[in-house]
Amino acid sequence: MSMSSALNNAVTGLTATSRMAEVVSSNLSNALTEGYGRRGVELSSVQVGGRGGGVRVDSINRFVDAGLLADRRLADAALSGQERSVDLVMRLEQAIGGPDDAAGLGARLAEFERALIAAGSDPASELRLASVVARLEGVAGTLKANTASVQALRQDADVAIARDIDVLNGALQQVDALNKDILRISGSGDDPSALLDARQRAVDQIAGIVPVREMPRDNGSIGLMTTSGTTLLDSRPREFGFQNTLTITADMTLASGALGAIKLDGVALDLATGVGRLDGGTLGAAFVLRDQTLVQAQSALDGITADLVARFQDSTNDPSLMPGDIGLLTDQGNPLDLSDLSGLAGRISVNPAIVPAQGGNLALLRDGLNATTPGPTGDAAQINRWIAALDTPRMDVPGATLASASGRIAAYVSEVGTTRLMAQEQLSFTTARWETLREAELADGIDTDVELQRLLQIEQAYAANAKVIQTVDFMMQRLMEL
């Protein structure tokens, strides 16, 4: 009986050490696998008839610091949202151009002013007058290009929202399916660790889109909720919807109903913000960019455009003009309408009266736009008035500050640059926090040195149990020889 007990002990020892070797090898092979939780074997002794009956493998434990994981996921949401903001703001700055950008709006206006000065020194030169028109068309073209860039960025943000919603719905469905699989595997007594890894990766994917909290259930499944209280997954996954807009123009806003908002189970979450209580990750950042940051950028462009149009249709700067007449720049051929500024920068055009390709007369730059008779070819008075119009501080647009044309553009370019710098500073802080939490999470993960030491111990234990079996076999053979 003693030999059979010894043999049974050794066999269970071999079984346990084999299982431990399997778990350690899995840990080592997945040391760099994202979302993998370190495993450990839990053992207990077996008593049979008051005597040792060997060892039993009770369970395979998966080690994850739930608190640290939750904090890291919140940092994921903040980092992902900030990265999206920085990316689009940097693209906005590149499209607008910096203070020293030769293709920027400030440089185009400076070229126009230099062309006016050159024409003023020789007002009889049609070549110099043609250069003024060309440079003015350059200013208008840059304003249109900047408007197109801003709206293209809004379009990109809208597409990003639709993509995030698709990923969010897919990941929630995946977590729900994994919940059911984990429940089934756990109920059969098998190890669900691989499924737990897959579920953690799915939740991590959600965490980049919206800030999420995991709520453990007694049966091994989990529920998901945003930090602001919106349920994502409970007994079933919630269904989010969003209809992206194929083409976005400057006059299209969320408030007017022209742009989409997120729907939960078919009902709009929040018509004021579009995102409701799902903000904090990439989803919220996209809505802020589409409906606030880029809208403000467009509004500033429209304000610059309105300022330029107002300067050149003012009779003070061209005595030939009457109230309601169009100046050098127009709103698609119409005078400035302060009640319709949205998208003005994309509608600006040069007065066709001075564009030769449209049947215009260059001499009107020198004589006045509504001049009925030619003036002296050497008179630069009107050209000098155009130059003064650019330099005079004005505030024709309600809410605008008193500034010259170049000063207003410089302030706008500076504001865009400041927005980018602030976003990058916030990103640096968010990145540092995320890296700290990530390092702490990895430190609690797989230590290959420790795992290798454990493997050596397992090897020694396996060899010792094998030696016991060999010894029992030898003793039984001796008994048989008697």
DSSP 5-53: HHHHHHHHHHHHHHHHHHHHHHHHHTTT-TTPPEEEEEEEEEEETTEEE
pLDDT of amino acid 159: 96
Residue 351, SS3 per DSSP? coil
Is residue 287 one of the residues assigned to a domain?
yes
User: Which residue in the block uniquely carries the two structure tokens 């995030």?
Assistant: 164
DSSP designation for 400: P
53 and 122 together in one domain: no
251 and 303 together in one domain: yes
How many folded domains does the chain comprise? 2
Is residue 439 one of the residues assigned to a domain?
no
| Dist. CA 318–CA 382, nearest whole Å | 7
91 and 35 together in one domain: no
pLDDT over 60 (residue 263): yes
C-alpha distances out from residue 175 to 82, 171, 255, 436, Å: 26, 6, 34, 27
202 and 80 together in one domain: yes
Handedness of CA 360, 362, 365, 367 (dihedral sign): negative
145 and 41 together in one domain: no
pLDDT of amino acid 364: 95
Is residue 465 very low, low, confident or very high in pLDDT (cuts 50, 70, 90)?
A: confident
Residue 9 is part of which domain span?
2-64+446-481
pLDDT of amino acid 50: 67
Mean pLDDT for all residues in the chain: 91
Is residue 441 one of the residues assigned to a domain?
no
pLDDT of amino acid 1: 46
pLDDT over 80 (residue 457): yes
| % of the chain residues with pLDDT over 90 | 63
Please tell me the least confidently modeled range out of 295-304, 384-393, 469-478. 469-478
Handedness of CA 101, 106, 112, 113 (dihedral sign): negative
Q: Which amino acid is at 215?
A: M
User: Which residue in the block uniquely carries the two structure tokens 């920068």?
Assistant: 345
pLDDT of amino acid 80: 96
| Dist. CA 376–CA 88, nearest whole Å | 52
Read off the pLDDT of residues 400-455 as tens digits, 9 standing for 90 and up.
889 999 999 999 999 999 999 999 999 999 999 999 998 888 877 788 888 888 88
Say if residues 10 and 468 touch (Cβ distance below 8 Å).
yes
Q: Would you call 100 exposed, middle or buried from its count of C-beta atoms within 10 A (0-12, 13-18, 19+)?
A: exposed
124 and 49 together in one domain: no
Higher-pLDDT residue of 95 and 39 is 95
37 and 11 together in one domain: yes
307 and 325 together in one domain: yes
107 and 167 together in one domain: yes
What pTM did the predictor assign? 0.87
Task: Tell me the average pLDDT across 140-154.
Answer: 96
60 and 74 together in one domain: no
Please tell me the least confidently modeled range out of 146-155, 358-367, 381-390, 433-442. 433-442
pLDDT over 80 (residue 49): no
β-partners of residue 237 are: 233
Comparing CA positions, the residue from 217, 211, 205, 207 lying closest to residue 230 is 211
C-alpha distances out from residue 265 to 148, 220, 239, 269, 398, Å: 34, 26, 5, 9, 42
Is residue 75 one of the residues assigned to a domain?
yes
Task: Tell me the average pLDDT across 32-39.
Answer: 82
47 and 143 together in one domain: no
pLDDT over 80 (residue 218): no
pLDDT over 50 (residue 145): yes
